[in-house]
Chain A
Amino acid sequence: MTADFARLPNGGVLPLVQLPRLGLERFRAAVLDEIAKSGARLSAFFACPGDARGHLLIAVLALDDQGVLAVTSCAVEREYAALTPDCPQAQGFEREIAEVWGIRPLGHPWLKPLRFQPPRGAPAAAERPAIGLAPFFAISGAEIHELAVGPVHAGVIEPGHFRFQCHGETVYHLETSLGYQHRGVERALLGGPAARTIHYMETLSGDTSIGHATAYSRICEALGRIRVPARGQALRGVAQELERLANHIGDLGALAGDVGFLPTMSYCGRIRGDALNLTAILCGNRFGRGLVRPGGCGCDITAGDVERLLSRLEEVRRDTASAVQLLFESPTARARFDDTGALSAQTCRELGLVGVAARACGLARDVRRDFPYGIFQFAQLPVCTWESGDVFARAYVRWMEIQQSLIFVSEQLAALPDGEIRRVPTDGTLAPERLAIALVEGWRGEICHAAITGADGRFACYKLVDPSFHNWFGLAFAMRGQQISDFPICNKSFNLSYCGHDL
């Protein structure tokens, strides 16, 4: 851990000359060793375009119990020994490295393209498969059948493809094949910040506008040495918890809908909108567009707004409590939720799951507590966990978090600091040749942004990790041995982002 890693706080900046550059073998051993010994998580693992000698592989490890990020790197030319066989949580990252940069992680068990995107930097492989046409993980035998769903789904949701290997009603394996939403965001971020940068962040995953805009703003603030005023930090915290509230309420309603329990579905669908409308009071937009900006917030609120928010928040609290109580009291709904799609804490650790999915397996992972940032340095929310790892646990953790967020938002609004909401630096430049990393606890889980600036202070590399990137594989594992008819509630209990994955 000593010379092999540089240690950074959440929102920290490292001059690139201080980034350890290990040999390939030492890099692999150091990363695997740290994960095995201290239970570190792989928050991000990516390639940064380098010089003629090759690219730079950068690993960002999160040491939850110390609140520290450990970073290391190594130069790589064409190939290296994959981490995945010894560290399953690297599987998605290594598929991405192979697809985007043409670097081969040797020994990776399933090097299928992750997004079917055009390669960058590396020469295009001669036989790049078209989306949906790559081979799928398959099992064979008498009475085995395969079920294909998507990319266009039955509901009003984003596109993605699911391939199930079934025997009768039992699912043996689910493979998610995504990339349909790929729109080239990471590529377009290079050379920024530019006029569109904040809009890319607010639309990385539309339901997490506040989360990603906060992570990006914290990158800019770290690299631009900006201190956000207290009122700006408090408003960001309020917006982030309102985002969590709206989405969690919507998810509980959707879960109720998927087991045919219509009262809660109908109430929560409406209350989710009421919660989104609270965000619209803050900034005019239901998804919080325009609210979070580097240096603070894009708009302020008045004392009248605070009163309006508090009284509407109380209505949301009462309506949600009544709607959710019905759901958890209903024996038929509980029968569908209990023991369905269960994951063990061990699987959860190995796959590196984050957010609600991890907390529902009993793992107390929460960036707000482990790597506190902004207002969460001063106002702590309890970490809500449940042990059973099933659909019920993921639903119940949401309900506990709804209650905590309601308390947090009310307390913050009642005690909003005075003063300015934003501090914009006069020159607006970012420190050159630095690595900055920011973690944020979005409503789905840990959001990780890592930026590297070039000599001109512009982004030479910008890595985005949405919590869904870690968690899609968790859904595949949760489906093993389940009834195919339970897929909708398993899927909804994770409610992962397609666009946040596809970028």
Chain B
Amino acid sequence: MWSIIKARWRQGYRTAAYPAVPPALPERFRGCPELTAGAPAADFVPAASACPTGAFTASAGAPPALDLGLCLFCGACAAACPAVVKFTAEHRLAARRLEDLRLSPGGRQPRAAPAEDSLRRLFGRSLRLRQVSAGGCGACEADSNVLGVPTYDMGRFGIQFVASPRHADGLLVTGPVTENMRLALRKTYDAVPNPKVVIAAGACAIGGGPYRDHPEVHNGAAAAIPVDLFVPGCPPHPYTILDGLLRFLGRIP
């Protein structure tokens, strides 16, 4: 017992001061991209051809756009067009509507708006989520699960993952929704009591990610159930997910 107490003392208090103090992210972290305003549309064309998922669209005639929902944050566009595309350290990416994920030159993505008052009154101080992995690679699950460790400790905001959909206020869905998981996702959704919320975390759950348009998948959670919050990333950084959840609950302005 003494050794346990000693180790506890040694390991110390490790919970980050977030959200009061902004998170420390690594130097090479690829957060929200930035497209240079006023650059000729043709300058963005190589970025669009380098994009593996079609998130980046550009042609000589039309204004370029980057859909953060489809973006893998791989940096291929910035490598192809370093003069006009760069990745910033901005980790706040979540959005309530898909159209808010479309980024244009010089544009800034609006921060996710809080849920409706009625939902906030119910869930603002206590949100229980059932996580459903509906395909994908397991990285989004890993970086959602990690929100429970002492560093992030999302329990201090009243947010928690629960084992049964019957105990949940909503779902956090990851993965592109494979054909083989479609029914299970739908059944899990139906098992959550009303009113309920759905959060789609990661490029797969928003638009299919690297598997977009594969016949084996359904290009994201919205194809099977209604979605209230989209969290981009491949996978999203744990702070990106936490930021999205807290904004949705109206806990950070």
Which A positions have Cβ atoms within 8 angstroms of B?
115-118, 131, 151-152, 154-159, 179-185, 188, 195-196, 199-200, 202-207, 209, 263, 266-267, 269-270, 272-273, 277, 280-287, 289-290, 299, 305, 319, 322-323, 325-326, 329, 497-499
- The answer to whether B76 has its CB under 8 Å from any CB of chain A is yes
User: Is B4 interfacial (CB-CB < 8 Å)?
Assistant: yes
With A182-B216, A323-B7 in contact, is A499–B137 under 8 Å at CB? yes
The distance in angstroms between the C-alpha atoms of A277 and B146, with both chains bound, is: 12
Residue of B75, B176, B180, B181 near A290 (CB, 8 A) is B75
B52 touches A199 (CB 8 A): yes
Residues of B within 8 A of A182 (CB): 135, 178-180, 216
Residue of A nearest to B148 (CB): A269
Stretch among B24-32, B99-107, B115-123 lining the A interface = B24-32
Contact of A289 among B26, B74, B178 (CB under 8 A): B74
Q: Give the residues from 1 to 16 in chain B that come closer than 8 angstroms, CB to CB, to chain A.
A: 3-4, 7-8, 10-11, 14
Let me know if B39 is at the binding interface, CB within 8 A.
Answer: no
Q: Which residue from A131, A207, A273 sits with its C-beta under 8 Å from B139?
A: A207
| Chain B residues, CB < 8 A from A267 | 7, 11
* With A270-B14, A273-B149 already in contact, 4 other A-B pairs whose C-beta atoms are closer than 8 Å: A156-B144, A202-B137, A305-B27, A497-B138
Question: Which residues in A have their C-beta under 8 angstroms from that of B136?
Answer: 181, 183, 203, 206, 499
Residue in A closest to B139 when the chains form the complex, CB atoms: A206
Which residues from chain A contact B209 at a C-beta distance below 8 Å?
203
Chain B: residues with Cβ within 8 Å of the partner, total of 64
Q: Are A195 and B50 in contact (CB under 8 A)?
A: yes
Please state if A319 and B52 are interface contacts (CB–CB under 8 Å).
Answer: no
B134: chain A residues within 8 A (beta carbon): 159
Contact flag A269-B7 (CB < 8 Å), given A151-B184, A196-B52, A281-B27: no
CA distance A348 to B123 in the complex (A): 50
Q: B244 on the interface (CB 8 Å rule)? A: no
CB distance from B13 to the nearest CB of A (A): 11
Could you tell me if A277 and B8 are in contact, using CB atoms closer than 8 angstroms?
Answer: no
Q: In the assembly, what is the distance between CA of A141 and CA of B99, in Å? A: 59
Report whether A181 and B178 are in contact in the complex, using a CB–CB cutoff of 8 Å. Answer: yes
Assess whether A155 is in contact with B75, with CB atoms less than 8 Å apart.
Answer: no
Known: A180-B181, A499-B137, A499-B138. A203 touches B210 (CB 8 A): yes
Contact A184 B216 (CB under 8 A): yes
Complexed CA–CA distance, A473 and B168 (Å) = 33
Q: CA–CA, A207 to B145, complex, Å?
A: 13
Which of B29, B149, B210, B217 touches A196 (beta carbons < 8 Å)?
A: B210
Q: Mark B215-253, 1 if CB is under 8 A from A, else 0.
A: 111000000000000000011011000000000000000
Q: A116-B180, A263-B4 are in contact. Are A156 and B214 (CB under 8 A)?
A: no
Q: Is B83's beta carbon under 8 Å from chain A?
A: no
Tell yes or no: B53 within 8 A of A by CB: yes
- B235:A181 contact, CB within 8 angstroms: no
CA of A159 to CA of B180, assembled, Å = 10
B110 → A minimal CB distance (Å): 25
* Cβ contact within 8 Å between B11 and A157: no
Tell yes or no: B67 within 8 A of A by CB: no
Measured between beta carbons, the chain B residues less than 8 angstroms from A272 are 146, 149
Are A287 and B8 interface neighbours, CB within 8 A?
no
B97 CB to closest chain A CB, in angstroms? 26
Contact B11 A322, beta carbon cutoff 8 Å: yes
A-B contact pairs, 22 of them (CB 8 A): A152-B184, A155-B145, A156-B141, A159-B134, A159-B181, A159-B184, A196-B53, A203-B210, A203-B234, A206-B139, A206-B142, A207-B139, A269-B150, A270-B151, A272-B146, A284-B26, A287-B142, A289-B234, A322-B11, A323-B11, A325-B3, A499-B137
Closest 10 CB pairs of A and B: A206-B139, A284-B28, A206-B137, A154-B163, A203-B137, A269-B149, A184-B216, A156-B145, A195-B52, A280-B26
Taking CB as reference atom, which chain B residue is nearest A115?
B180
Once the chains bind, are B139 and A183 in contact (CB under 8 Å)? no
Q: A155-B163, A180-B178 are in contact. Are A117 and B216 (CB under 8 A)?
A: yes
Which residues of B are found within 8 Å of A322, using beta-carbon distances?
A: 7, 10-11
By a CB distance below 8 angstroms, the chain B residues around A195 are 50-52, 76
A183 near B74: Cβ-Cβ < 8 Å: no
CA distance A204 to B139 in the complex (A): 10
Among B139-164, those with CB < 8 Å from A are: 139-146, 148-151, 161, 163-164
Partner of B217, one of A183, A200, A209: A183
Question: Are the CB atoms of A184 and B214 closer together than 8 Å?
Answer: yes
Find the A residue at minimum CB distance from B147. A156
Q: Tell me the smallest distance from the CB of A309 to a CB of chain B, in Å.
A: 11
Minimum distance in angstroms from B208 CB to a CB of chain A: 9
- Would A203 and B139 count as touching, CB distance under 8 A? yes
Q: How far is the CB of B117 from chain A (nearest CB, A)?
A: 29
Complex-state Cα separation, A15 to B144, whole angstroms: 46
Closest to B131 in A: A156
Assess whether A181 is in contact with B188, with CB atoms less than 8 Å apart: no
Asked if A118 and B10 make an inter-chain contact with CB atoms under 8 angstroms apart, the answer reads no
Residue of B nearest to A195 (CB): B52
CA distance A286 to B233 in the complex (A): 12
Pick the contact of A188 from B135, B163, B178, B214 — CB < 8 Å? B214
- B138 & A205 in contact (Cβ 8 Å cutoff): yes
A286 and B53 form a contact (CB under 8 A): no
Q: How far is the CB of B250 from chain A (nearest CB, A)?
A: 24
A188 to B216 Cα, complex, angstroms: 10
B204 shortest CB reach to chain A, Å: 8
**A277 proximity list for chain B (CB < 8 A):** 26
B44 within 8 A of A: no
Judge whether A183 and B214 touch: CB under 8 Å: yes
List B contacts of A159 (CB < 8 A).
132-134, 181, 184
Residues of B within 8 A of A179 (CB): 180
